[in-house]
A and B are shown apart, each in its own frame.
Chain A
Amino acid sequence: MTQQPPDEFERRLRDVLHSRGLSVPVPPDAIDRIHAGARRRQQRRNGASALGAVAVIAIAAVAIGVRPHGHGSNVAGSLHTATPAPIASSAAPSSPVAVQTSAPTVASSAPSSQVPSPTTPPAAAATTPYPSAGSAVPADFTPISVTAVNDKTYWALGTQQCGNVSCTAIVNTTDGGAHFTEVAAPHAATISINDTTRPVFNLRFADSSNGWAYGDALWTTADGGATWVDTSLPAGSVKDLEAARNPGAVAGTAWAIVQPVPFTSGYQLWEAPYATGSGTGAWQRVDLGADPPGDTAPSLVVKGPTAYLLGADAKKAERVYVASVGVATTMFAAPCIPTAGAFSAGIGSLWTACPSGATVSTDGGATWHATSTPSQITVGVVGGIDATTAVVNQGSNLVVVSTTGKSKTASISSKSANFSFVGFTDAKVGYALSQAPNQLWRTTDGGMSWSAVTF
């Protein structure tokens, strides 16, 4: 179709389509009608209608805190940072959900003492029933965010039907997805319901105990998701959050990209210490120097004590901001401004997607090199594996690209996946999220084959 110059018929086809006068007048009340229609949809979702639930088209521009392990020397040598510690699957509490003693199914399921009342309680908390921890995962669980701490242990944030209501749910596995258990979820919606709703739509776990659910609110758990606290800090919308620590350390740092309210001076980077057993400490804003990120949300990845932001400053200059705990921020010229979700950490490498294809840095963002990405691939998401290999999307396919050889199309059963995220926890195990329909995929062979995760 594109390989040959258009013939006479194709030119005619183009002319016919362009001559049709396809403009359609915009109804004067179009915006009001959209608002009204959206309200009706929301009411149906909330169970006000007996028509049943409508499909929730839920997406999340997510990037799990990629914690490559097993190749620590590579990372430390080339990125001047240490690799975060792998969390052995056995480190996960055998039954983190056992702490949850809530009664099943309803809003009161979480004892009030476990969830301190925030200054402005999320509206959904009073009206939305939440699934109980420890219960079986329902067949309609729909993932919108995934976070993994090793090759076997991961969590998914999503939605499920609670009667006629779509409610927030979190599931956890410690055996690579063979079995899932429902853990408690923050009492927050995953969609805006009204002016006081502060939804969450992303989930990160740093280890088997410390986790964060974020969006317009920031909820924190220190017990593997048994209980959640609305910390409401930092003030504003949390656009991205990642956490990592040095190998063997009991403490690490969580980093957050924050869109402050009111949004007057660009995006901010915040950091907070966390430690196994003591939860998350106080959040503090990080000074990103004279040219901090402007009005486009930067992408964030972390390695050990260092955070890497890929974004543009107020003058639209592309930059890689490198912020390390206790060390002055440095900046490098970025290869391009990637799309959301197209910044990823691999073993000893940072990856991003540029118009020319997947691009890698092995020196902490100082210099970047293109891969042999096939020209027909328009890279939207990228998941770095190591310094030479990454997985990118190509329509409903995933493709393994390399700096050293030809690309290989992965085996995946999807016929219609739109991938919003790809990431790896080590050289073999990785995760991908697709939307419309929302689905979680997993690979155990370095991205060559992917299987849909069944909850």
Chain B
Amino acid sequence: MVDEERRQVFDEFARARMPELLRFGHALTGSPHAAADLVQDALERTMLAWARVENQGDPEGYVRRIMVNRNISIWRRHRRETLVLDVPEDAGRRGAGHAEPVHRDLALWDRIRALPPRQRTVIVLRYYEDMSEAQIAALMGSSVGTVKSQASRALASLRRDAYQFAESDGPTEGVGR
């Protein structure tokens, strides 16, 4: 296949799958801006390896693997990142009449974003992408046992935080109004 033809196939793939990849990136990173960077990075790498990626038959899986692994390695380099201090993009949109649920949701969303990247990735893949443990393990390049333990730790942490927030809902009720 000549390069021009191959490039067209790549462009069609990227154009068709980018909305879904951006959504996936947003869930992984917790930020639309970081998602855009992550998707661009992954698609640039995929484009350079397109002949082999196309040959292997699962280009979207390849892109998602890069996104998952790059997101974890980027996070390692920027360990000081303070995701919990970011203001969620749609904070307050739901406004009056949903104060308590909005607050609880925001708090839980922030806790998810503050999880260590591997745990956050497992949670997003499991509860947002509805992937099985085996699928998550394959995507992350880890064992099912590791996925289980990451999920267990993440859920324990989130449950603990949720309990604390539930107890302290009174004084802070009203956020989002």
A contacts, CB < 8 Å to B: 1-2, 9-10, 12-24, 26-27, 30-31, 33-35, 37-38, 41-42, 56-61, 144, 191-192, 194-197, 199, 201, 215-216, 236-237, 239, 259, 261-263, 296-297, 339-341, 376-378, 380, 393-397, 415-418, 420, 436
Contact = CB atoms under 8 A, between A and B. Distances in A.
B60 to A, nearest CB: 13
B134 A61 contact: no
B104 to A, nearest CB: 8
A24 B36 contact: yes
Size class of B's contact patch? 35 or more
Given A18-B128, A216-B1, A376-B132, A395 B47 contact: no
Q: Chain B contact residues: over half helix, strand or loop, or mixed?
A: helix
Contacts of B74: none
A35 B47 contact: yes
Given A26-B19, A41-B45, 20 more contacts: A13-B158, A20-B27, A34-B40, A58-B49, A58-B52, A59-B49, A61-B55, A61-B57, A192-B6, A199-B51, A259-B1, A261-B5, A376-B144, A377-B134, A378-B138, A393-B138, A395-B147, A397-B143, A416-B69, A436-B65
B66 A436 contact: yes
19 contacts: A17-B27, A17-B112, A17-B127, A20-B90, A24-B26, A31-B14, A37-B41, A57-B66, A59-B53, A60-B52, A191-B51, A201-B52, A215-B52, A237-B1, A261-B1, A261-B5, A339-B57, A378-B132, A396-B137
B80 to A, nearest CB: 24
B141 A16 contact: no
A27 B36 contact: yes
B44 A41 contact: yes
A33 B40 contact: yes
A21 B11 CA distance: 26
B90 A21 contact: yes
Contact of B134 (A10, A23, A196, A376): A376
Interface in B123-170: 123-124, 126-128, 132-135, 137-138, 140-144, 146-148, 151-152, 155, 158-159, 162
Contacts of A215: 51-52
Contacts of A26: 18-19, 22
Interface string B1-32: 11111100001001100110011011100001
Contacts of A418: 65, 138, 141
B108 interface: yes
Contact of B4 (A195, A340, A436): A195
A38 B46 CA distance: 9
Given A59-B49, A59-B62, A61-B52, A236 B22 contact: no
